[in-house]
Amino acid sequence: MDGVLLSVLLRKKLSLLARGDVFKKPTANKALRSMRLLPIYRMEDGAGNEQSAKNQLTFNECYEIFRKNGMVLIFPEGYCVSERRLRPMKKGAAKMAFEAIEKYPDLDLQVIPVGMNYSNSGHFREEVCINFGQPIAVQSYMELLKEGKNAKAITDFNSTLYEAMEREMVIIKETANDLVGNQYLIMARNQYKPAFFGFFKRTKKRFLAEKRAANDLNHLSESNPESFETFRNNISNYFATLDKLRIKDKYFSIPLIEKILYFLFTILFTVPALAGFLLNFIPVRLAKNIANAKVKKVEFYDSVYMGSAAIIGIIYSMILIIICMCFMGWSGIFMGIGIRLLGYLFLYWQEAALNTKYWLIILLTKKGRTMKNSLISQRKFILNYFG
């Protein structure tokens, strides 16, 4: 998803490197290259003795893109793993950058660090926070290269790149702290929830809140393990209570006026939203079935799901419009488009309905009324734990 998201966000032609074994078949090779994907071969993917020669061909293509002021997305860690950690930099990105300026000495090549922070990979309707760091001028390493100190140049470059990327990422250092980290980040994120309508939010408040929360957590884990265990127990109990009530933490960050608006929205649009769900169920279900059947690693789930949904959705829309036109003539085009738009209405209605459900559980159930004040106190204690 990284390449797709950056292409949409930047609105520019962006080439990206992808694992070479998926380019084997001529049809796949042509299709992938038409989407500006370039193959990079690894020993673990079965590249064999031809690895270096094949990769050099791809590198040469990248250098031509750089010469034309184009952009290439590179994954310097060398792995695709969904975790809140930054792995050590491989040498590939540095070697490509240095080879490019050696081939074109006047090239003003810049490496831009990008932090991709997914809220919950592999789940629908989740979020991603994308941050861009300060560009790293590759020409600044030219002196080291001229002196033949290539190893030092690569080490210095990777160190600079690592620090720059780390600043733009939310990192939970210890794997053992992933659960408590994710729970605490949910609470930090809910303090700056996005607008009900809209897709892009160009503020760093959410990221800074999550970054601060992760840093506090990491520091406490390292400096005061006993206090960290107290914090872990508190947040674990809080989320366990939420699960018992079947509500989410975000309920407590929603002001009363929004709860009322969610309630009204739920009531007013129940019928058209449910109609949208039923009329658009087939393409959504098919795409989900394909992703479930084909994808074994969560890192690739979102892209396969989205790609399948896009292709199936286009076919379904065409069939829907043709059927509507058979009964309604040319106006059937608008009916077919309207039916598809009802599917999007359902997504918003579902969110409003869930928020309304949480509100009614607190208001109307004995357990909800009993636990409300305790949950509010627990939440306040957790959020103020670090001052």
- Which of the four pLDDT bands, split at 50, 70 and 90, describes residue 194? low
- The rounded distance, in Å, linking the Cα atoms of 237 and 224 is 20
- Which of the four pLDDT bands, split at 50, 70 and 90, describes residue 8? confident
* pLDDT averaged over every residue in the chain: 91
Beta-bridge partner residues of 144:
none
Please calculate the CA angle 317-321-325 and round it to the nearest 5 degrees.
Answer: 175
pLDDT in tens, 257-282: 999 999 999 999 999 999 999 999 99
Q: Is the pLDDT of residue 235 over 90?
A: yes
Q: Which two tokens stand for residue 195?
A: 């607008």
Beta-bridge partner residues of 132:
114
pLDDT at 112: 95
Distance of CA 101 to the CA centre of its chain: 32
Which residue type sits at 125? R
- Which of the four pLDDT bands, split at 50, 70 and 90, describes residue 195? low
Q: Is the pLDDT of residue 237 over 80?
A: yes
pLDDT at 131: 93
Beta-bridge partner residues of 363:
none
Counted residue by residue, the chain has a size of 387
DSSP labels, 138-189:
GGGGHHHHHTT-HHHHHHHHHHHHHHHHHHTS-----GGGHHHHHHHHHHHH
Q: Which two tokens stand for residue 63?
A: 């250098």
Q: What are the structural domains, with CATH classification, of the chain?
A: 2-177 (3.40.1130.10), 178-253 (no CATH), 256-383 (no CATH)
- The rounded distance, in Å, linking the Cα atoms of 119 and 255 is 23
pLDDT at 177: 95
Lowest mean per-residue pLDDT among 1-10, 231-240, 315-324:
1-10
- Please state the rounded mean pLDDT for residues 362-368: 94
- Which of the four pLDDT bands, split at 50, 70 and 90, describes residue 197? low
Helix 332-364 to helix 366-383 angle (10° resolution) is: 90
pLDDT in tens, 212-234: 999 999 999 999 999 999 999 99
Max CA pair span of the chain: 77
Q: Is 79 helix (H, G, I), strand (E, B) or coil?
A: coil
- The rounded distance, in Å, linking the Cα atoms of 220 and 231 is 9
- The rounded distance, in Å, linking the Cα atoms of 303 and 325 is 33
DSSP-derived pairing of the beta strands 14-19 and 71-73: parallel
- The rounded distance, in Å, linking the Cα atoms of 166 and 143 is 26
- Please state the rounded mean pLDDT for residues 1-8: 86
Q: Is the pLDDT of residue 47 over 80?
A: no
pLDDT in tens, 18-35: 888 888 888 988 988 998
- Please state the rounded mean pLDDT for residues 22-50: 81
- Please state the rounded mean pLDDT for residues 118-146: 90
pLDDT at 227: 94
Residue that has been written with the tokens 């390449």 in this structure = 3
**348 or 43: which carries more pLDDT confidence?**
348
- The rounded distance, in Å, linking the Cα atoms of 180 and 385 is 14
- The rounded distance, in Å, linking the Cα atoms of 361 and 107 is 62
